Amino acid sequence: MGTQRDLERYAGLFSQRTRGMTSSAMRDLMAITERPDVISLAGGQPDTSSFPAELLAGLMSGVAAEASAKALQYSPTEGLWSVREAIVEVMAAEGTEVDASEVLVTTGGQQVIDLVCKTLIDPGDVVVAEAPTYPGAVPTFTAYEADVVQVAMDEHGMLVDELEATLDRLDAAGRTPKFIYTIPTFQNPGGVTMSLPRRRRLVQVAAERELLVLEDNPYGLLRYEGDPLPTLRSLDGGRFVIYLGTFSKILSPGVRTGWAVAPGPVYEKMNTGKQGVDLCSPAFSQFFIAAYFERADWREYVDALRDLYRHRRDVMMEALDESFGPEATWTHPEGGMFLWATLPDYIDTTDLLARALRANVAFVPGRAAYLDGRGGSEMRLNFSGSTDDQIREGVRRIGAVVQEQVALYGTLTGAKPAPRPKPKADETAARMADVLPLPARRRQAEGGTAQGS
């Protein structure tokens, strides 16, 4: 049982792509956030306790009575027709018209990211993503050995000018990205939403350059204020946009059911790719979803979630005002589940998490959302998965350790750090006064002031 020989024996069999799959100190820290005594604002969880248990029981006994054998059986790779029709209904609720035949049912939205990479990415190919981006997409990009280039955002979403400059720069280097990955609505982790002019421009840029866009839209129906915006898919009409949807946030992540709508040839490859991964998504989940859409009012539940999360968002915004001090800034999400906070650049949020865990509270350190070491002073906070009291107490505890570090830094430098300059309030949009540009952009303006990252 020679240890080193063991290690070498396995390591010699590992594929090249596993070299990018590394463990990290941050991952070990995040594991502790699951302790029961920790208030975790780190998760990305919807509140599934709000789904009526008796409804679940009723629907499942209906499935058992009427379709037991089928629910326990394999099903078509594309998904059950009734589920594909339900998806058409969900997308129509956001003003996006598609045909059920264009829908590919997947095992969670995450599988769409995987299938898109499988279909499009050769090692070294470029994927353009937002900065910060969805941390859960990073291991998928890494597994396919994609070269991820991140484009900054502000309160109106991805900076499309910067995107174009980036594409030009890549073009000059002889590199064409395969696709642009974006969460335009209530972005995870940024909590910001891409404006309508930028949506139009992004779709135009994709068409002009014949690039694909992967529009990841898990939260679109969870809008708490403001007017809904058209999806990229509806603006583009399905020429260059691959749409990713999921039941995770409007029904349950436990059913592990998402979907893709893609241009025909891309759809075909993804479908073939899916056969290799899991043949089909669980029929069990799909029969439940079909029954739910047939017999219950899914819109009513989404309305209830919206009310619940809107309230929790407000509780969190209020708690942040009270506890985070003038040195911190944060985004004001109009929907979704997350907001993004930025601390003074001398605070490293990975280390701060260690301190916060001693106070039994957790968040996601910003570095998780970047591939280039940026984000060291930023954090993601989730408001959908905790109760009002947990949110208030959790934010209070994080605020206390932030204040402790601000005071310590002041002692060390002999200077009271000046509050961050607040942006000029736009008279026509006073509500936006507390919305600040996201960090990546500011960092660029200030130059490389980040330390310890």
What does the binding site for other proteins look like in residue numbers (CB under 8 A)? 1-7, 19, 21-25, 27-29, 31-32, 35, 346-348, 351-352, 354-355, 357, 405, 408-409, 411-414, 451-452
When the beta carbons of 200 and 442 are compared against other proteins, the nearer one is 442
Write down the least CB distance from residue 25 to other proteins, Å. 5
Q: Is the peptide bond before 132 cis (omega within 30 degrees of 0)?
A: yes
Write down the least CB distance from residue 415 to other proteins, Å. 10
Q: Give Cα 439 to chain centroid, integer Å.
A: 17
When the beta carbons of 355 and 420 are compared against other proteins, the nearer one is 355
Write down the least CB distance from residue 61 to other proteins, Å. 38
Q: Distance between the two ends of the chain, CA-based, in angstroms? A: 39
When the beta carbons of 135 and 190 are compared against other proteins, the nearer one is 135
When the beta carbons of 197 and 452 are compared against other proteins, the nearer one is 452
Helix or strand or coil: residue 261? Answer: strand
Concatenate the DSSP letters of all residues of 29-53 into one string.
HHHHTTSTTSEE-------GGGS-H
Write down the least CB distance from residue 118 to other proteins, Å. 23
Per-residue tokens: 362: 């957790």
Q: What Cα–Cα distance (Å) separates residue 420 from each residue in 58, 192, 244, 327?
A: 54, 20, 37, 6
Determine how many CB atoms are found less than 10 A away from the CB of residue 345. Answer: 18
When the beta carbons of 150 and 405 are compared against other proteins, the nearer one is 405
Write down the least CB distance from residue 37 to other proteins, Å. 9
Contact (CB, 8 A) for 332 and 339:
yes
Write down the least CB distance from residue 18 to other proteins, Å. 8
When the beta carbons of 50 and 451 are compared against other proteins, the nearer one is 451
